[in-house]
Amino acid sequence: MPPGIDLHLHTVFSDGQRTPAELVDLLAATGVRTAALTDHDTLEGIELFEEAARPQGIGVIPGVEVSVEHEGQDLHILAYWVDRRNPALAAMLQRVRDSRRLRLHAMVSRLHEIGIPVEEKEVLGRAAGAASVGRVHLAQELVEKGWVGHHGDVFRYYIGADGPAYRPKQTVGIEECLETIRAAGGLAVLAHPGVYQLEGVLDRLLAGGLDGLEVWHPSHTAEDMTRFAALAQEHGLLQTGGTDYHGDRDGEMMPGTMDLEPGMLESLERARRARFPAGGRTSSEDA
């Protein structure tokens, strides 16, 4: 495993449990030397993350995990090295965050219809400080109020993709997302491809300019990782990985513990320099 690399991490600015500074302290304790912060649909935690990481000697790749839509399927695109000051990227992410609020309202309304009178204002209060509200905040409220005994059961029985209270996000399209990431100086990687139905989707992603696949992810079996590594090689895509760490929940891997391919970060940095020759220093140089 390459020492100290994790390219998929979350904080309280989306659905993680730790502040940027708290996450940095954990990364330092677990030996992570290069990290990508990839909160859902927001870049608001990156500056605090960079400030905390600098004295710890941890190199930061500014990133974001963007929600996109394909024929009713919710996909996540990891964007690395994006410019958080890019106005088009900021506008796109704001639209997705607005859709998250509308989805929350629709899910709360449906829960009321089936006899669970959860209060939307309580869920939003639980998400206070998070730029991006998500289903995890609703799940926390249901568990806290005793409607469901376990966080995972909320998704399994109520707000998962097959649940009676599930409502999809109204997100952006694949082509707009990939084009906006590229214009913001980023590389675009399909997150955890093992959770999707890829038939028809991958061709559209490739045509839109996808740069890579997240091969190494906790949800992937060894067979999945072998298959996605081969798929990435077949299509000339980059390969990335990370723990997708949110916090101290059941089944979560600690940051930096994913078994990654040697040379992964160097391949990403070469691709970035080739795409954006004036892109400035790499994360390794910042570390």
**Span 86-113, pLDDT tens digits:** 999 999 999 999 888 888 888 899 999 9
Which DSSP symbol is given to 102?
Answer: H
Q: Which residues contact 22 (CB under 8 A, 6 or more apart)?
A: none
- Specify the amino acid at residue 22: E
Residues composing the chain: 287
pLDDT at res. 3? 60
Mean pLDDT of 225-232: 97
Provide the mean pLDDT of the chain. Answer: 90
Q: Which of 264, 238, 241 is nearest to 253 (CA)?
A: 241
- Tell me where in the chain the CATH 1.10.150.650 domain(s) lie: 99-159
Spatial separation of the C-alpha atoms in residues 158 and 66, rounded to whole Å: 24
According to CATH, the topology of domain 99-159 is DNA polymerase; domain 1 (1.10.150)
User: Mean of the pLDDT values across residues 24-50?
Assistant: 96
pLDDT score, position 281: 43
CA–CA separation, 74 vs 33, rounded Å?
31
Does 166 score more than 70 pLDDT?
Answer: yes
Helix (H) or strand (E) holding 275: helix 264-275
Mean pLDDT along residues 263-283: 80
Q: Tell which wins on pLDDT, 133 or 192.
A: 192
pLDDT confidence tier of residue 85, bands split at 50, 70 and 90: very high
Query: Which neighbouring-strand residues pair with 63?
Result: 80
Element (H, E) at 25: helix 20-30
Pairwise pLDDT comparison (108 vs 129), residue with the higher score: 108
Based on DSSP, count helices (H) and strands (E) in the chain, helices before strands.
Answer: 11, 8
For residues 12 and 130, the answer to whether their CB atoms sit within 8 Å is yes
Query: Structure pTM?
Result: 0.85
Look up the CATH architecture of domain 5-93+170-286: Alpha-Beta Barrel (3.20)
Find the range with the poorest average confidence among 53-62, 75-84, 166-175, 259-268.
166-175
Query: Residue 218 has which token pair?
Result: 């906790």
* pLDDT beyond 60 at 282: no
Q: How far is CA 31 from CA 22, 64, 125, 216, in A?
A: 14, 22, 34, 19
Tokens (6 digits) for 98 = 């607005």
In the prediction, which pLDDT does 279 show? 56
Q: Tell the residue number behind the tokens 């045509």, with chain if given.
A: 207
Strands 5-9 and 172-173: unpaired
In the chain, CATH 3.20.20.140 sits at 5-93+170-286
Instruction: Please tell me the distance from the alpha carbon of residue 36 to that of residue 78, in angstroms, as a whole number.
Output: 10
